[in-house]
Amino acid sequence: MYYFSLTNTLSPFQINCMTLWRGYLGVWEIKEERLYLIQLNAEFDDDNETTIQDIFPVFSDPVFAPWCTGELRITEGDQMKYEHKGFSQK
């Protein structure tokens, strides 16, 4: 999570599989041109589930993401092509 690099802290999340190497799944929402984290699905290294308030105790719920200042590109429509290469070197 980019937030951890901004706060100079390590991610406390457990990595259960290589397909989700960051260790968490966030659900986001855009309201009035602002990005909010509305749900966080993750486990700490001690196998306890976490909530948004565990990570952002001083923020209200949902959490406004002031660390996201760039442009979001959101696609819509049908996927035209998918090519899964996995760990391929090709």
Q: pLDDT by residue (tens digit) across 48-66?
A: 677 778 777 777 789 898 8
Burial 7-36, CB ≥16 within 10 A → b, else e: eeeebbbeeeeeeeeebbeeeeeeeeeebb
CA distance 42 to 17: 12
The pLDDT value recorded for residue 32 is: 92
In a domain, 77, yes or no: no
In a domain, 83, yes or no: no
In a domain, 71, yes or no: no
- pLDDT top residue among 36 and 7: 36
- Counting the structural domains of the chain, the total is 1
pLDDT of 68 > 90? The answer is no
pLDDT of 35 > 70? The answer is yes
Domain span at residue 18 reads 2-64
CA distance 80 to 35: 28
